[in-house]
Amino acid sequence: MTNPMQAISAELNLAPNIFQNPTCFIAAVRTGIPGSVVRLAVNYFECPELIAKTLGTDLNGLEKDCAARVLNTHKSEALLDGFRTLSAVRMAWSSCELADRWLMSEVPALGIGSGFIDLQ
């Protein structure tokens, strides 16, 4: 059976072992994740708001990131970490819709307007 992260890697045209091999992960971050991968991720995960928040931007900024040749190291690492988190949360909830809603929900203990997605 295929590891869920390997399936994501294949769908997003990333190195097959990027999430299992720290050296491969670091090399990809240093090289920069192509904007085309951001676009594929938006289509694959179907949650542009979550991906935008992961990249520290809004939907307009997300469009710019999709058009970028490569993301900077900070955004590249945030994006890859976001893929891991989103995949794990969706597996835990067994529902993309419930997982995404949970990630975007407010958590009073974190402060007004803050939620799990803000814990980056």
Q: Look up the pTM and report it.
A: 0.83
Question: Does residue 7 have a pLDDT over 90?
Answer: no
Output DSSP code: residue 112. Answer: T
- What pLDDT is stored for residue 91 in this prediction? 84
**Structure-model confidence comparison of residues 91 and 116, the more confident one:** 91
pLDDT digits (tens, 9 = 90+) for 41-96: 999 988 898 899 899 999 999 999 999 999 999 999 999 999 998 888 888 888 77
List the domain boundaries for the chain. Answer: 4-118
Amino acid at the residue 107: V
Query: In the chain, what is the greatest distance between 2 CA atoms, to the nearest angstrom?
Result: 42
Question: Does residue 98 have a pLDDT over 50?
Answer: yes
